[in-house]
Amino acid sequence: MYRARSQRGFTLIEVAVVMLVIVIVLGIVSVNLEPDRESPVRDEARRLVLLLQTAQQESILQGKILAVAIEREGYSFLMLDDDREFKPMDGDEVLRARPLPSGIVISRVDVEGVPEDDETKTPRLILLPTGELSPFTVIFSQGDVRWRVEGTLTGEITAQTMTPAEKA
């Protein structure tokens, strides 16, 4: 009787399929490992949007006027007290002062109704208990990456990347 010899090892097709799978997986991993230069700036812009929305809700719920002091290196939330003075909200874990990560700055702030030569030199966004806020534009920058956060009088707040034409 004739007995077939059993073969050990892999066929050329099996080896090729395994190699193809490895190449595809490595391609996906290498694409995901490339640093996203916009990511840190985008994250900071979106964080400000979420914190402003939270501050709006806090203002409405407490019936108090809140403000946001914006500086080049960060921003802080303030509450109007009974003496009609804005005091930092240091005790609030969410609406606390926020320094920006290294390399990211606020390169421009425009708040409607606040002149650039204001004596405090710190633009303030005002958030009213009605849900309204001072119309504003804040630009976050890191190198040539720029993100704009805008707010309207009706309380709508958005963040978007700036096009090369807008950056100029």
Assess if residue 154 is contained within a domain. Answer: yes
User: Closest Cα partner for 124 from 79, 57, 58, 157?
Assistant: 79
Would the pLDDT of 1 be above 80?
no
Would 113 be classed as within a structural domain? yes
Q: Give the domain extent around 46.
A: 39-167
Residue 75 lies in a domain: yes
Q: What is the CATH number of the domain that holds 92?
A: 3.55.40.10
Is there a domain that residue 12 lies in? no
Q: pTM of the predicted model, to two decimals?
A: 0.73
- Structurally, the chain folds into a number of domains equal to 1
Per-residue pLDDT of 49-73, as tens digits, reads: 999 999 999 999 999 999 999 998 9
Residue 131 lies in a domain: yes
Nearest to 105 by CA among 39, 40, 35: 40
Q: Average pLDDT, stretch 3-19?
A: 75
pLDDT 10s digits, 93-148: 888 999 999 899 998 888 887 655 555 556 588 899 998 888 999 999 998 889 99
Indicate whether 3 belongs to any domain: no
At residue 96, φ and ψ (nearest 5 deg) are -95, 170
